[in-house]
Amino acid sequence: MERRQFLKNSAMSGAILALSGKRIWATSADSRIEVFLDEPKGEISPNIFGQFTEHIGGVIYDGVWVGANSKIRNINGIRAELVEKMKEIQVPIVRWPGGCFADSYDWKDGIGPASQRPKRTNFWEVDPDAARLHEKGPQIFEPNEFGTNEFVRFCKLAGAEPYLAVNLRSLPPLEFDHWVEYCNSPTGSTTLAEMRATAGFPEPFNVRYWGVGNESWGCGGNFAPEEYASEFRRYTNWIPRFGVDLQLIAAGPNGNDIDWTHRFFEQIFTGHPYHNSSFTGWSIHHYASNLSRGKTGDWVLGKGDALQFETVDWYELFRECNRIEQIMADQWAAMGQYDPGHHIKLVVDEYGPWYREGTELDPTHIFGQQVTVRDALATALTLDAFNRNADKVSVAACAQLVNNINALFLCHEDRFFATPNFNVFAMYASHQGGQSLRAEFSAPDVHYDRDGKPASFWGLNGSASRKGNIVTLTAVNPDLKKPSDAQVALRGATITSASGTALAASEMHAHNSFESPDAVKTRPLNVSVNGGILNVSIPAASVIKVEIAIG
Ligand code: AHR
């Protein structure tokens, strides 16, 4: 429903409710949220709160992997503090080893005794951001200390499921079969299972999620969609299963390139149809990387700065991130023309604001950037969009977990802190596995000046879900100046009690650092229940969560 139409309708229904004496919207409230308990929209897959880790810059070496002999607290070489914080927010799934890196990676380099593993040139060696590295460390020459065994151990420690990205550009399909065999063949069954056991892992890893190629229109091979479709068939037909319910994910378009989607699915499903019930995911990536407000399409010049920004950039970032909902709708509609039952779901396995270089905590952190409260709001509005589309999205992964684009953690050597994105994932964890509910938000738009022209952005938006007798409501107030006095009504249930949490900063550039690791933090949010209506005072520039017990 149109937002304005809803305002009209809800004002009318408010009047009717007032007349019947049941519920009265207070005239003092400036925004309203209605949650419809009898309109479930599908289960929110826990996997949409996933993370991405690539062999790039400081993500693996420095971020995840410190080595068993390090003085930094570690578990078999894996940074212990990172694992502990990941458990706190219940990270459900982690994607690895790329990204673009995946299509130049030979998984066999990363198994067997560490001392015998080869050193290779890292894919990102050619990136302009790598030019600033004077020392040719693991960011340039990949030591393969961290391979499949170490990644699966990392996932197990964190309580997450592994999601592997397969090299389709530079390894033949048989290597994919063999990687599946190494991970999943039963104890004592194959030579690769023996090798796994010799490394200390007799039990199969039972890896279910496999991305077959990454950005295959670009760094993953520069394929035309028809070419990629025929490669995808070749790689995914008849792969060994070992009783594991494999989930195969195909590489979706550049941005919202619908032509790529139509041509891939046309090739896959028509003429010579492809039947593979394991093909369940269509990967899409959405970076908010151009904040130039239409002034340039240049990849470098269009980028904004993570720390130096003004009011207009604050809202521009949200506009860019907000596009994810339209991308999901467009892709879903196109996919439905070939897969009307929607067996294949969306996998948003890279997203986040992407700024120019300069705020990385160490020169080795290629694509490293600081994370402010602005990014936390952007991440929250993205997660809300996933929740609202729970029927469409099965997996998502924030790019990337640590020392990279939209990180939850920044660290270097023995210093470590969580960014405001961590707080968002902590708040949103209660949506995992909940039933997504239709929720209507009505609030005045925010108005601002966009290069001398009046512009607006929505004033309040969010999502709601139900687990048992708890309804979780999350919302973003993007307005830099105005708090919002919101009234929340649950249709189809009675509110018995509620409690709230807010992440807000009085200053739009606020961020954590080694010196001030808690500059941005969550705090309790005042909520009250009156006449069956919940009253919430939502701070300006904030993300909020309210947990509502229902009778
Ligand atoms: O996340 C960084 C890079 O962005 C990934 O490697 C690639 O898939 C995307 O273009």
- pLDDT tens digits for range 153-209: 999 999 999 999 999 999 999 999 999 999 999 999 999 999 999 999 999 999 999
Average pLDDT, integer, range 504-517: 95
Q: Which two tokens stand for residue 345?
A: 């779901």
* Nearest CA residue ID for atom 7, ligand 1: 99
99: CA distance to ligand 1 center in Å? 5
For 483-496, the pLDDT digits (tens) are 999 999 999 999 99
Give the number of the atom of ligand 1 that is nearest the alpha carbon of residue 400. Answer: 1
Average the pLDDT over each of 2-16, 18-32, 448-462, 499-513 and give the range with the smallest value: 2-16
* Nearest CA residue ID for atom 4, ligand 1: 99
* Nearest CA residue ID for atom 8, ligand 1: 99
Q: Across-strand partners of 287?
A: 352
pLDDT classification of 329: cutoffs 50, 70, 90: very high
Longest alpha-carbon distance in the chain? 79
With tokens 């909940």, the residue in question is 434
The type of residue at 147 is G
Q: Using a 6 Å cutoff on CB, does residue 399 contact ligand 1? A: yes
* Nearest CA residue ID for atom 3, ligand 1: 99
Q: Across-strand partners of 92?
A: none
Q: Using a 6 Å cutoff on CB, does residue 98 contact ligand 1? A: yes
Give the whole-angstrom CA distance, residue 204 versus residue 253. Answer: 33
Q: Which two tokens stand for residue 343?
A: 């067996």
Q: Which of 163, 285, 299, 349 to mutate to test the pocket of ligand 1 (most atoms within 8 A of CB)?
A: 285
Cis peptide bond upstream of 370, omega within 30: no
Q: Using a 6 Å cutoff on CB, does residue 129 contact ligand 1? A: no
100: CA distance to ligand 1 center in Å? 6
- pLDDT for 304: 98
* Nearest CA residue ID for atom 9, ligand 1: 99
403: CA distance to ligand 1 center in Å? 14
Q: Return left, alpha or beta for 540; rule: phi > 0 is left, psi -120 to 50 is alpha, else beta.
A: beta
Give the whole-angstrom CA distance, residue 167 versus residue 107. Answer: 9
Q: Which of 524, 519, 522 minimizes the C-alpha distance to 508?
A: 519
Give the whole-angstrom CA distance, residue 249 versus residue 234. Answer: 14
Q: Which two tokens stand for residue 501?
A: 């949490």
Instruction: Please state whether the predicted TM-score (pTM) of the whole model is above 0.85.
Output: yes
Q: Using a 6 Å cutoff on CB, does residue 464 contact ligand 1? A: no
Q: Using a 6 Å cutoff on CB, does residue 30 contact ligand 1? A: no
Of all residues in the chain, the percent with pLDDT exceeding 70 is 95
What's the 3-state SS for 244-278?
Answer: CCCEEEEECCCCCCHHHHHHHHHHHHCCCCCCCCC
pLDDT classification of 505: cutoffs 50, 70, 90: confident
CA distances from 302 to 294, 355, 519 (A): 9, 9, 29
Average pLDDT, integer, range 246-250: 98
Give the whole-angstrom CA distance, residue 400 versus residue 63. Answer: 11
Average pLDDT, integer, range 519-525: 97
Give the whole-angstrom CA distance, residue 249 versus residue 466. Answer: 29
Residues 6+ apart with CB under 8 A from 146: 55, 60, 61, 64, 65, 77, 110
For helices 173-184 and 225-236, give the axis angle rounded to 10 degrees. 40
31: CA distance to ligand 1 center in Å? 38
Q: Which two tokens stand for residue 517?
A: 């690791």
Give the whole-angstrom CA distance, residue 417 versus residue 402. Answer: 10
Question: CB burial class (10 A; 0-12, 13-18, 19+) of residue 201?
Answer: buried
b/e per residue, 216-241, with b = 16+ CB within 10 A? bbebbbebebeebbbbbbebbeebee
Q: Using a 6 Å cutoff on CB, does residue 407 contact ligand 1? A: no
365: CA distance to ligand 1 center in Å? 14
Q: Which of 51, 52, 53, 54 to mutate to test the pocket of ligand 1 (most atoms within 8 A of CB)?
A: 54
b/e per residue, 65-104, with b = 16+ CB within 10 A? bbbeeeebebeebbbebbbebbeebbbbbbbbbbbbbbbb
Checking if the pLDDT of 24 tops 70, the result is no
- pLDDT for 402: 98
The mean pLDDT of the chain is 94
* Nearest CA residue ID for atom 6, ligand 1: 99
- pLDDT for 26: 63
351: CA distance to ligand 1 center in Å? 9
Q: Which of 51, 94, 100 to mutate to test the pocket of ligand 1 (most atoms within 8 A of CB)?
A: 100
Give the number of the atom of ligand 1 that is nearest the alpha carbon of residue 101. Answer: 6
pLDDT classification of 131: cutoffs 50, 70, 90: confident
502: CA distance to ligand 1 center in Å? 31
Give the number of the atom of ligand 1 that is nearest the alpha carbon of residue 100. Answer: 6
Give the whole-angstrom CA distance, residue 178 versus residue 190. Answer: 10
Q: Which of 168, 215, 349, 406 to mutate to test the pocket of ligand 1 (most atoms within 8 A of CB)?
A: 215
For 410-432, the pLDDT digits (tens) are 999 999 999 999 999 999 999 99
